[in-house]
Amino acid sequence: NQTVTYRAFAFLALLLATAWLASLVAKPRVEASRDLPRYASAGTAFAYRVTLVNRAGRPLADAGVGERFADPRPSFAEWLSAREPGEQKRNAFDRALGYFRWRWCIERRLPRWRDDTPVPLLAPGERRTIELSMTPRRRGRLELDAIRVACPEPLGLAKRLAWVPVPGRVTVLPERYAIPPLALAGRRKFQRGGVSLASAIGESEELIGLRDYRAGDPPRKVHWKSYARLGKPVVREYQDEFFERHSLILDTGRAQGEDAAFEAAVAIAASFVYTIDTLECLLDLLFVGEAVHSYTTGRGQANAQHLLEVLAAVAPSAPAEFGQLARLVRARAGELASVILVLVHWDDERRELAEALLAAGVEVRVLLACLPEERPADLPPWVAALHPGEIEAGLARLA
């Protein structure tokens, strides 16, 4: 019996060694290209096309196509600040070692996708396009490095692999939730500065006719064709238009890094950016990164897609840096019709900002994204607490 076992083991080992050697030779010779969408959304599957050309002298049979992604490993700082969901339930050794947190950081950077998509028989020189799909787990940039073509060697025990370098990138926008129609009450204010300032502060001018020149009229308003025809100076007369200006404030001061509460806050902000109609108003997005960042969408400004790209890359900041943002918002309070405050923390500084805006006559909606156990006991009734996993239901109650 031992002799038979040894012979069987030697035979199987020989087969595996032969299959392994066969997988190293005669690898698939293919050309590959990829047609990726520019944008995708976190948590939503997207499809794309891969085109293969068989450059070998024999058919390519039983092949499968997959992807290789750019290095998903986090930096030391990212690993240190990250918090794996449920990490507090692990034993002290696992928490100190941080291996499961490191593995979680890698997994969330990689999309969910099928390892190998089957490719029909590909004759020599034949070109074929197949459809692949994947589901990004998180917002940000999804970097693809190479296309993998795998086919079995003659024994069928191993696969011959060919890696075709095809760099690609998809911008993954934040997850977005349905928001009920919100009546953002506001007031339109006149702010001097002319058309050039209108794009920045919400004032625009519309031409309503011509009139005789009056002392003090700026030369740029002279209508030169009428001046030449009539022989006397004539200027263009404008009617001022006013726009409501709304501000979306995203609090990025999360000491726990990109945890579920922070990602929920970003998704809430993205939902407002995506939903608010900016054809007749201006919307400012403000948050703290290395400095205070301010972006505006609306007539004559960037579109909402640009703000979603900005939110796709936003990162947590130190909680103490919120003071810079609060000072800027207070300085702009006189120009604002309403403010939407999306917070990840509740303290005296954030309360004072909300109360100062209310005192200035600005309509304020305050949303706090936090874990259920983090909800403050003294949270005012005018602050809506939204918990990860229950965001859409919480937003539905805002109507």
Residues 365 and 392 in one domain: yes
Cβ–Cβ < 8 Å for 211, 234 = yes
| Average confidence (pLDDT) over 197-219 | 64
Boundaries of domain holding 96: 77-109
Q: pLDDT of 218-236, one tens digit each?
A: 888 888 888 788 888 888 7
pLDDT exceeds cutoff 90 at 100: yes
DSSP bridge pairs for 183: none
Average pLDDT taken over every residue of the chain: 85
Q: pLDDT of 146-179, one tens digit each?
A: 999 998 888 888 888 889 999 999 999 999 998 8
Q: pLDDT of 31-50, one tens digit each?
A: 999 999 999 999 999 999 99
| Any domain includes 249 | yes
- Strand segments, DSSP code E, in 309-360 are 338-343
DSSP bridge pairs for 113: 134
How far is residue 150's CA from residue 21's CA, in Å, rounded to a whole number?
15
| Any domain includes 362 | yes
Residues 334 and 315 in one domain: yes
Q: pLDDT of 7-19, one tens digit each?
A: 888 888 998 888 8
Give the predicted TM-score (pTM) of the model.
0.79
DSSP conformational letter for 398: T
Q: Based on the structure, what is the number of domains in the chain? A: 4
Residues 64 and 83 in one domain: no
pLDDT at residue 190, as a whole number: 44
How far is residue 194's CA from residue 267's CA, in Å, rounded to a whole number?
36
Cβ–Cβ < 8 Å for 203, 193 = yes
Phi/psi at 37 (nearest 5 deg)? -70, 160
Residues 92 and 209 in one domain: no
How far is residue 360's CA from residue 247's CA, in Å, rounded to a whole number?
14
Residues 64 and 132 in one domain: yes
Identify the residue with better confidence: 205 or 179: 179
Residues 201 and 329 in one domain: no
| Any domain includes 274 | yes
Q: Residue holding tokens 């994947």?
A: 134
Residues 382 and 278 in one domain: yes
pLDDT exceeds cutoff 50 at 123: yes
Residues 81 and 118 in one domain: no
What share of the chain has pLDDT > 90, as a percent?
A: 42
Q: What angle do CA 160, 165, 169 make, to 5 degrees?
A: 125
Residues 84 and 130 in one domain: no
pLDDT exceeds cutoff 70 at 283: yes
